[in-house]
Structure 1
Amino acid sequence: MAAANGGYVTALEAKARGIQNRKLADAVDRGELVKMARGLYCTPETWEDEYVRAQHRFARGIFSHDTALYLLGLSDSAPESLTMTFPRGYNPSSAKKSGIITKSSPAELHELGCIELDTPYGNIVSAYNAERTLCDMLRGTSSPDLQLLSPAFRSYLSSQEKNLPKLQSYAKALGVAPKVRKYTEVLL
């Protein structure tokens, strides 16, 4: 089961296959599994993936902002701290205590642009797509990080996967249409 999941096993997945928690604990005692976090195990040869650990622990969070840019390949800089967006009304205090930068999104827009991406270790996590991420980088701030945002916009606009109608639709939904229009006009 671990081999099929990039070396990871969750207690929920094991339970769904009829494997009791005691069996997982026995596997840990024998050195066949390593307990990474509550309900998350991996094989001893598996490299620790902070993205998987964060996603498992804070399942309502979606990787966003600089973290999503990195996972999407729109930034060469690995984030110093992971950034996750949570639905408004969710209490992210434990995520903050874990060193995660937290953002909030209206509940009705939380899933907008959510996709599955590979981590640098080849595991799958939830993150926002390029269009949502670029809009989020402009949302709620008067001075976005231009050293990160400008190259990301340039890279997106020159890519074959760019979808300008989707970008404009997301910009409108997220209230940043004028800012996105300004960036696209300057860079196109």
Structure 2
Amino acid sequence: MTDLDSLKKLVRENGYLYTKDVTSAGIRREQLKKYLDEGGLIRESRGIYSFADSINDEFVLLQSRCKKGIFSYGTALYFHGLSDRFPQMVSMTVPKTYNVFYLKEELFHVEFHRIKPSLWNIGIIEMVSPQGGKIMVYDRERCICDM
């Protein structure tokens, strides 16, 4: 079995390959660099890769980059079918103590809302994104209360 086959087995169900999974499987980082240079892999973000021939879910990638980010406000309303228009800015809510400074510069299309950590986890549910990936979203009641 080649290293490329090993890498394909490490791809998570969300379609992305993570550096920590690669190194824990005993594959050297130089192999990632080799496949990046050859065009077989695409670097989505620091530590997150995808195969060039795969279709990726942007919403799963956003939550992979912002681990405590929950889709909220207009974005969550759209996922619940309570809005017929996709919002121009993707809304994510994070705890006040979570640092998103480095993400704000890169993710200019994402609007971050910060709330008390004690209120952050109320109403979180798992949904399937329009592209088929599993994402965390606030439930309908929470969305309506937030609006």
TM over 0.5: yes
Q: CA deviation at 1:40?
A: 1.1
Within 5 Å, which residues of 2 pair with 1:60-71?
Answer: 60-71=68-79
Q: Secondary structure at the match of 1:5?
A: coil
Q: Which has the larger radius of gyration?
A: 1
Q: Which residue of 1 aligns with 2:123?
A: 113
Q: CA deviation at 1:87?
A: 0.3
TM-score, scaled relative to structure 2: 0.78
CA contact (8 A) 2:14 2:60 kept: no
CA contact (8 A) 1:95 1:102 kept: no
Pick aligned residue for 1:74 from 82, 86, 91? 82
* Alignment CA distance shift 1:130-1:54 (3 Å): same
Pick aligned residue for 1:96 from 61, 84, 104? 104
* Alignment CA distance shift 1:102-1:9 (3 Å): same
* Alignment CA distance shift 1:81-1:2 (3 Å): farther
- Are 2:62 and 1:58 aligned? no
2: CA distance between counterparts of 1:101 and 1:131?
21
Structure number with higher strand proportion: 2
1:122 partner letter: G
* Alignment CA distance shift 1:6-1:68 (3 Å): same
Deviating runs (4+, > 4 A) in structure 1?
none
2: CA distance between counterparts of 1:125 and 1:11?
21
Aligned residue-pair number = 137
CA contact (8 A) 1:114 1:126 kept: yes
Q: Secondary structure at the match of 1:115?
A: strand
2: CA distance between counterparts of 1:96 and 1:37?
14
Q: CA deviation at 1:74?
A: 2.3
Unpaired stretches in structure 2, ≥5 consecutive residues: 1-8
CA contact (8 A) 1:2 1:43 kept: no
Structure number with higher helix proportion: 1
* Alignment CA distance shift 1:71-1:21 (3 Å): farther
TM-score, scaled relative to structure 1: 0.63
Q: Which residue of 2 aligns with 1:10?
A: 18
1: CA distance between counterparts of 2:98 and 2:47?
21
